[in-house]
Structure 1
């Protein structure tokens, strides 16, 4: 099966280029609603290819087990037929297949035919032998390469599944967190609006600098005293160190209402920052029964395309929700002596009449 394995590896490399260039970069199939069905067909093909990369170099089926080859390659042919049938409808809005992709599909079809010939010319007659699964004489280096291709196929298919699911879920909801504190609005405002203390309780930041300090001198008032120069339009520079890497961005106060609300926008131009830009607010509300409620709501746009949207939906945004909740709990414990702070705001517990950042801006 060495020849079949070599043909399969060539087919895998060509298929990887087809997916990366024509499906992802040029066509952006997984992000187009009209191409959703074709994308699911490609996912099925990725799973079939992964099975081929695992079976062809490593196994030889005999007797009744020979049916595995028939099922495996029968599934491949069926998926290819479904793909060819779906493409005219799926690609109509893009003017059909490009000339380059059409040629690539022809080359892939020839390679598939050569692979089928190599497999069945080598194994034909094995169905007459006793039923079993034998080893392979394919060199270990080729088997390792094929195993890597199998992992790659499954990884791409899994990513495409996540992208399709993420698209079906719609835009991600803003993050909401709130905590009630045994303090006055003025006390909490003064503490949380002092950017020098902010990184001390907020896990999301390692440092914050108001840019007017670069030209007008640093804020030297006692801790817990907001800089009086901060107002609507003031710009800050923030930084977060993650695993030794520094992520830097900027924020600007969009609406600054002392003792009531602070609305802001933020952005980062660094390509390794998942967050591209966003908006958020802090709200300070006195409670009739005593104390006050400190609440935040924010959302953002991400970079890295569909991959970034998947990472944000299933990993980064839940992490930021948790980070923000922990930050509010730290604020309550460290500065207001609350031993077991009750932090609210996870999905499903959004404060009533609490505006989104866009509504409040």
Structure 2
């Protein structure tokens, strides 16, 4: 399997370039609804090549097991044929395949033909041996075996990521985070306390430091915030989009720090007297994340629930630390506003 292993390495290197440059960078197939079928085919092919990269250089299938080995390549050919069938509809909005990708596919077809020919020559004798699956690494340099192993892991990883991205696209958008608390105080006192950026980190678990980038807090005023996480400090910025004293603060926030999962977001604070000397203070916010599909799945499964809890704990600490004179009630997940509290495109409504 020495020749087949070398050809497999070349095919996979060119295939990786095809995926990274043409599929992701140039055509952005994962972002196009009309290309989802093609991307699913690429997911399937990624797993097939991961198996080939693991098995071809290392394992021999003797006797009856030879049919299993052949089935791996029949599946590859079948997936390739389906890929060709769906490409016209997938690429129609882009004017078809780019010339460079078309040429790449021709080169890959020739190399894959040579690879399959080498596989056939090296493995035909396995049919006549006693049935067994034998670990027998190909007579190639150790660095090539290691490289093929890494390529196989990479192919499986990319297939998983693309599959997760496709599934995530069909899910409803995550609900905004919403928390509210009722406090026995006045709107004026609550406003003055919560709008003081020097006091804010003392009760809000989401911030370690906040610095205003303007002398007067008003619509348009910017701020810089920091959060200490173990040995790292995550930095970001915010800006008041609408600042109505004792009523509402609407803001946008963003971070250019690549370590920050949050890329940008919008939110609001609302202050409302409900009678009997009680004020309801509520926040609602949502955000977009980095790190592609992994970031979106991590946000759904881990980060957003943690942020919901952190915001609830922050409001509870605000109540306990600064308003201990009256009973307070923090409403978290059950107190969320409907998703449409944000307008189209993520802009706060109202």
Matched length: 344
1:120-139 → structure 2 map (5 Å cutoff) = 120-138=120-138, 139=141
Change (3 A) 1:51 1:137: closer
Indicate whether 1:326 and 2:313 are aligned.
yes
SS in 2 for 1:124: helix
SS in 1 for 2:96: coil
Structure 1, unaligned runs of 5 or more: 214-228
Q: Quick one: which of 178, 181, 193 aligns to 2:180?
A: 178
- Paired position in structure 2 for 1:355: 341
- Paired position in structure 1 for 2:39: 39
Structure 2, unaligned runs of 5 or more: none
Change (3 A) 1:83 1:236: same
C-alpha separation in 2, matches of 1:17 and 1:315: 33
Write out per-residue CA displacement over residues 312-359 of structure 1, whole angstroms, 9 at most, x where no aligned residue: 555544443343233223333444459x9864343x642479933734
Aligned-pair CA distance for 1:274: 4.4
- Paired position in structure 2 for 1:161: 163
SS in 1 for 2:170: helix
- Paired position in structure 2 for 1:259: 246
8 Å Cα contact 1:38-1:90 kept in structure 2: yes
8 Å Cα contact 1:206-1:240 kept in structure 2: yes
Write out per-residue CA displacement over residues 66-113 of structure 1, whole angstroms, 9 at most, x where no aligned residue: 112111111100000000111111111111111110111111112211
- Paired position in structure 2 for 1:278: 265
C-alpha separation in 1, matches of 2:161 and 2:312: 29
C-alpha separation in 2, matches of 1:164 and 1:304: 15
Indicate whether 1:97 and 2:84 are aligned.
no
Taking structure 2 as the reference length, what is the TM-score of the superposition? 0.87
C-alpha separation in 1, matches of 2:247 and 2:27: 48
C-alpha separation in 2, matches of 1:111 and 1:280: 54
C-alpha separation in 2, matches of 1:167 and 1:113: 36
Write out per-residue CA displacement over residues 262-311 of structure 1, whole angstroms, 9 at most, x where no aligned residue: 22222334555444433211112334466433211112344566665555
8 Å Cα contact 2:177-2:284 kept in structure 1: yes
Where does structure 1 differ by over 6 angstroms across 4 or more consecutive aligned residues?
none
8 Å Cα contact 2:176-2:339 kept in structure 1: no
8 Å Cα contact 2:168-2:293 kept in structure 1: no
SS in 1 for 2:315: helix
Write out per-residue CA displacement over residues 107-141 of structure 1, whole angstroms, 9 at most, x where no aligned residue: 11122112212222111121222211111133543
SS in 1 for 2:282: strand
C-alpha separation in 2, matches of 1:4 and 1:87: 28
8 Å Cα contact 1:166-1:313 kept in structure 2: no
Write out per-residue CA displacement over residues 197-220 of structure 1, whole angstroms, 9 at most, x where no aligned residue: 21122222221111235xxxxxxx
C-alpha separation in 1, matches of 2:144 and 2:76: 22
C-alpha separation in 2, matches of 1:148 and 1:71: 23
Change (3 A) 1:315 1:352: closer
Taking structure 1 as the reference length, what is the TM-score of the superposition? 0.84
- Paired position in structure 1 for 2:118: 118
8 Å Cα contact 1:31-1:163 kept in structure 2: no
Indicate whether 1:192 and 2:179 are aligned.
no
C-alpha separation in 1, matches of 2:91 and 2:340: 43
Change (3 A) 1:111 1:352: closer
8 Å Cα contact 1:345-1:351 kept in structure 2: no
SS in 2 for 1:254: strand
Indicate whether 1:142 and 2:141 are aligned.
no
C-alpha separation in 2, matches of 1:289 and 1:63: 85
C-alpha separation in 1, matches of 2:284 and 2:21: 39
